[in-house]
Amino acid sequence: MSRGLRLHAPGVAAHVMSRGNGQQCIFTDSVDYERYLELLGRALARFGVDCHAFCLVWNHTHLLVTPWQFALPRMMQQLNSHYCQWFNHRHGRVGHVLQGRYRCKLIDDGSYFLNAVRYIALNPVAAQKVHHPADWPWSSYRAMIGLDSTRPYLRPERIWQMVDAADECEGIARVKALVECGGHPDELWGPLIVGSRAFARQLAPLVAPHCDNGDFTYADRFAARPALDAILAGAAAGVELEDRVYTAFVRYAYTLKEIGVTLQLHPSTAWTWVQRSKLRR
């Protein structure tokens, strides 16, 4: 079965989620929650990872973090492994606590980063466990808006920067307004790379070596590919357009159906163009 692609992108924020096996509870009381946060602090310090936001709910966790020197999978392997061992020992159980590998999305700066902050803070509200994000005690949001003392490993400075705050006081006010403005944040669990086309191009060299590796999911292997309309744009009818179609199909793995819809032609015609372009090479 294909798995998600893991990339080491120093300085790039990542939204990480770990889920309980079979959606079972992984936190039963305050002792469990506090133990996880303690282990999180240790892992962040050991691997030099910045944590901007977190939210722990009964059957999964959300982290918004930025790795630097060390790859994020090393930190997550230690954190999840240590917590699962401790959880099983405390509750007298055996077997898997978490459902496979954690999920990870690389997050662009600006509005993309702030949407992740909002998504994480509102997670307990979306699950209908509380009416207000500040009512959930196992989230960084309360500390972020000054209702709780902040944990020493929490790094909200990047958030203040994203909201163009002159100082922490202004940052708190702007984040509070952002999170509590109403409506739902954009869903984050789509592509590996969540951001602009420029951001995708920046990460393309990290993705490229894995494009032919079927061990990883199709969506992740081609997460940094250019948009189909950008590949085809400006091509003159005939040889040039056929060669562009070949590139879209062979190099970037767009389907004949996708190409046909974009160019308003039958997929079989797109296939003929691919074959003609191949013969010219």
Same domain, 173 and 275: no
We report the CATH number of the domain holding residue 17 as: 3.30.70.1290
Residues 230 and 175 in one domain: no
Instruction: Let me know how many helices (H) and strands (E) the chain has, helices first.
Output: 13, 5
Phi, psi of 57, deg, nearest 5: -120, 175
What is the rounded CA–CA span in Å between residue 56 and residue 40?
Answer: 11
**Alpha carbon 85 to chain centroid distance?**
26
Asked whether residue 192 is assigned to any structural domain, the reply reads no
Q: Do the domain assignments include residue 195? A: no
Task: Identify whether 204 is part of a domain.
Answer: no
Asked whether residue 107 is assigned to any structural domain, the reply reads yes
Residues 78 and 151 in one domain: yes
C-alpha 77/C-alpha 205 separation (Å) is 25
> How confident is the model over 106-151, as pLDDT tens digits?
999 999 999 999 999 999 999 888 999 999 999 999 999 989 888 9
**Within the chain, what is the greatest distance between any pair of CA atoms?**
69
Contact 2, 217 (CB under 8 A): yes
Report the alpha-carbon distance of residue 23 to residue 276 in Å, rounded. 50
Domain that holds residue 66: 13-179
Specify the number of domains making up the chain.
Answer: 2
Please determine, for residue 280, whether its predicted confidence score (pLDDT) is greater than 70: yes
Domain assignment present for residue 139? The answer is yes
Examine the domain organization and report whether 175 and 95 are in the same domain. yes
Residue 48 lies in a domain: yes
175 and 230 in a single domain? The answer is no
Query: Does residue 260 contact residue 228 with C-beta atoms inside 8 Å?
Result: no
Residues 6+ apart with CB under 8 A from 118: 178, 179, 185
Residue 92 lies in a domain: yes
Residue 253 and residue 155 share a domain: no
For residue 16, the 8-state DSSP code is: E
- Are 141 and 56 part of one and the same domain? yes
Integer Rg of the chain from CA: 22
In this structure, the answer to whether residues 32 and 159 fall within a common structural domain is yes
The H or E element containing residue 158 is: helix 157-162
Same domain, residue pair 168 and 241: no
**Domain check: are 175 and 77 in the same one?**
yes
- pLDDT tens readout for residues 191-241: 789 999 899 999 999 988 888 888 888 788 888 888 888 899 989 999 999
Q: Is residue 7 part of a domain?
A: no
Q: What is the pTM of this model?
A: 0.85
Q: Answer yes or no: are the C-beta atoms of 133 and 125 closer than 8 Å.
A: yes
The b-or-e profile of 187-214 (16+ CB within 10 A means b, else e) is ebeeebbbbeeebbebbeebbeebbeee
**Whether residues 52 and 171 fall in one domain:** yes
Q: Given 146, 179, 212, which residue is the final one in a domain?
A: 179
User: Tens digit of pLDDT for each residue in 37-60?
Assistant: 999 999 999 999 999 999 999 999
